[in-house]
Structure 1
Amino acid sequence: MGQWLTNLRRPGGLGKDPERAQRRAEQLAAIAPDWKPRTLGRTVDWPRHYTGLTTLLAGGAGLEEIVPGVTHRGDDIGRWAARQARDWTLLNPEQQHCLDKVGVKPAARPQKTATRTSTKKGTDKGSNAFTRGVVALQQYIAREGKHVVGRGHIEALPDGTTVRLGV
């Protein structure tokens, strides 16, 4: 069925006669309005992923269990659902309605907060960061006795500031 619809979606897939092609398009739209999803502003795989989501939910999975990595027939439905929530404003109203019906809501956007690593302003800022990095590395080497720092290591300085040495 999927391959047949794919063939129909191609240019000229409904036939060369424009009147017959229009009749066929109307017949398909009468039974499946989304048979040609690009006209609704979505990709061909959107209905397949949505069907996978509803199938998992109907099978007893909770929405909180459908996380990235949860698949249905080879499609990562968890990743797809997370992307839909994240990109909610890019979805058309029909897509938003469909997702809302099954409990998918727009993702909350985290608020960005300004962080300062230095109390100094101006041209000394980069120099100060470098100096703090050197102090942090000296402290780490003195304590650990090695020069190789793990990728995610954060060193706390005596003044209460931190330096991400592992980056």
Structure 2
Amino acid sequence: MWAKNARAAARRARENEELRAVGLTVPSAAGAMAEARQDELDAIDPGWCPAWYTGWQRCYRLVQDHIQAGGTLPTDAGDVLVQGEDLGRWVSTQRFGWEQLLPVQQWILENTLEITPAEEDERPVKRTQDTMWATNLTAARQFHAREGHLRVPRKHVEQLETEDALSDRQCGADGAAVVKLGTWLDNVRKRAAKLPEQRRADLNALGMRW
């Protein structure tokens, strides 16, 4: 009960500070915790009264418990699932979203779980519209070369094995890149009037049915 009341008092003090910062009148300081008292508690445990989403706290504790039980730090989605939480995905999200974390969250992750921000060379390369078009066009050409036409069923999925495609699309179970070719061609038809001339020509060369 004391801990619950203390957290409520700290939150009230923080809300009062935010009101003062924007020049608004604080309705009452009653029940708000003194700043000195907050500092004393922070010195004992920086996470005693976090201002962030409770789901973050839950996943943090689950990861901490997992490590204390002898497990290794999960780093990839699907590595460790506990109580319905994907701990690997959570850790990865913290690393790649480091700049969005509060300083105290960063401190906790670094000093208790040894989680560090992702390096630049770890960050996924953002796909441009041109690279996505090139990947889909490669799939269309592969289908045409094999089938002799481009009459692709709506639900057809083409698998590519080129290195470029592997970096642009989700990989299937056999390591091939998965391209939802039928869906893509349907979408292209719907925006045919806005396509650049070269893109229309590339598809026309494959016998595209508009």
Q: Indicate the TM-score class for this superposition, using the shorter chain for normalisation.
A: 0.5 to 0.7
| 1:53-83 Cα deviation digits (max 9, x unpaired) | 11111111111x4543423444332222111
2:152 corresponds to 1:141: no
- State the TM-score, normalizing by the size of structure 1: 0.54
2:111 corresponds to 1:105: no
1:123-134 equivalence runs, <5 A? none
Distance 2:96 2:81 in 1: 19
Cα separation, partners in 2 of 1:153 and 1:22, compared to 1, 3 Å: same
User: What does residue 91 of structure 1 align with?
Assistant: 101
- State the TM-score, normalizing by the size of structure 2: 0.46
The match for 2:50 among 26, 34, 37 is 37
Distance 1:135 1:97 in 2: 51
Q: SS state of the match for residue 139, structure 1?
A: helix
Q: SS state of the match for residue 47, structure 1?
A: helix
Give the C-alpha shift of residue 30 in structure 1: 4.6
Cα separation, partners in 2 of 1:73 and 1:21, compared to 1, 3 Å: farther
Contact map agreement 1:141 1:147 (CA 8 A) in 2: no
Cα separation, partners in 2 of 1:115 and 1:8, compared to 1, 3 Å: closer
The match for 2:77 among 59, 68, 81 is 68
Q: How many residues align?
A: 140
Contact map agreement 1:136 1:165 (CA 8 A) in 2: no
Give the C-alpha shift of residue 111 in structure 1: 4.4
Give the C-alpha shift of residue 104 in structure 1: 1.1
User: One-letter code of the match for 1:45?
Assistant: G
Distance 2:35 2:101 in 1: 24
Cα separation, partners in 2 of 1:135 and 1:86, compared to 1, 3 Å: closer
Cα separation, partners in 2 of 1:35 and 1:26, compared to 1, 3 Å: farther
Provide structure 1 residue ranges, at least 5 long, that are not aligned to the other structure: 118-124, 157-163
Contact map agreement 2:157 2:180 (CA 8 A) in 1: yes
The match for 1:151 among 142, 150, 157 is 157
Identity %: 22
User: What does residue 190 of structure 2 align with?
Assistant: none
User: One-letter code of the match for 1:84?
Assistant: Q
Cα separation, partners in 2 of 1:19 and 1:59, compared to 1, 3 Å: same
The match for 1:57 among 67, 70, 84 is 67
Provide structure 2 residue ranges, at least 5 long, that are not aligned to the other structure: 13-26, 163-177, 182-210
| 1:87-143 Cα deviation digits (max 9, x unpaired) | 0111122211211122212123234588977xxxxxxx99xx97x77654332215x
Contact map agreement 1:137 1:165 (CA 8 A) in 2: no
